Amino acid sequence: MAELEIIQEYLDNVSGNALLISNDSNLINLISSDNLQVLSNPDKTISDHVDNLLLTNTLGENISKENKKFDTIIVRDLFEQIKNPELLVTHLNSVLNDSGTLICSISNFSHINNSINLLIGNIDDNFFNTSRFYDLNNFLLFLNENNMHTTKLSRITQEFSSESMNLDDTLIPSQLIEMYQTTADHDVIQYVFMIGKGKSVSSESLNFSSQFPKNYLLPKLQEFFEKFTEFENSVIKKDKVIQGFEESIKEQKDYVKTSLQEHKDYVKTSLQEQKDYIKNLEKHNNQLESQLKKFKFWRR
């Protein structure tokens, strides 16, 4: 069910004064309510307009005259766009009847499209400013801390299409996408809240429970990354083995080269020693022959 259908279905079943804060002409024209009041400004974005009213402390007089209160207040993606959402919810709380309902929507930052774009670096300067509420628990805690609580939560879904994103399978493996598609709310593009006054639980309890998010990657995805890391380590080990072989071959080459040189030096030295030895033998032999001649002469 689309957001407009959710809003209209609710209005069809309630009565009383309703307030719509929006510049969306389609939404303004399509919503049907007998007592609908609209706060808009065609000259600037609705978030800038509301920010200005909050800054000048004139929001109250622009939406509620003569202490008028509303049974239904409708805002779209406004809490995540304005500079001071806490001040806005305080003002809206003050003009909402005790049994009234605030209907609002926020985008899901963890939608699979956002996650894939983040992985492939397809982001711009406004990517992280699309929502100040990065997960569902964050917004629920925000409401609780401002003395409000959710009475009903609807999810607007948008299926993932790798073709429309022109994904490279080598960059984002299909197994990774399939694993992410098993996580909670991966296909939720927008949350629509029905909100009432007062806290449902203490902020401390809600804050504690929010420390255990349910939308984290499944163990199967962790296993995928572990296998990838294991493969990467195997490649590193293989490279180290190859490097070891290369170093061993180089050492063997150096050893052979050194051995050959040492052998050449040894042979050269040995040949010189042999030459010197023969020369000494010849000299010694000449001396013996000379002495022998002398000896023969004296024997005469």
Q: Which residue has the tokens 């209160």?
A: 69
Distances (CA, A) of 6 to 110, 227, 281: 22, 44, 120
Res 81: pLDDT: 86
CATH architecture entry for 3-217:
3-Layer(aba) Sandwich (3.40)
pLDDT in tens, 74-84: 998 888 889 89
25-29, 32-36, 55-59, 225-229, range with the lowest pLDDT: 225-229
41, 42, 43, 47 alpha-carbon torsion, rounded to 10°: 50
Average pLDDT, rounded, for the chain: 79
pTM (two decimals):
0.65
The domain spans of the chain are 3-217, 219-300
pLDDT digits (tens, 9 = 90+) for 106-149: 988 888 888 888 777 777 666 555 556 777 888 888 899 899 99
Q: What is the pLDDT of residue 159?
A: 84
For the segment 151-177, the average pLDDT, to the nearest whole number, is 79
Whole-angstrom Cα distance, residue 134 to residue 107? Answer: 9
> Which of 52-66, 85-99, 237-251 has the least mean pLDDT?
237-251
Please check the confidence at residue 98 and state whether its pLDDT lies above 90: yes
Give me Rg for the CA atoms of the chain.
43
Residue 218 DSSP code: P
Residue 155, helix vs strand vs coil = strand
CA-CA distance, 126 to 135, in Å (whole number)?
17
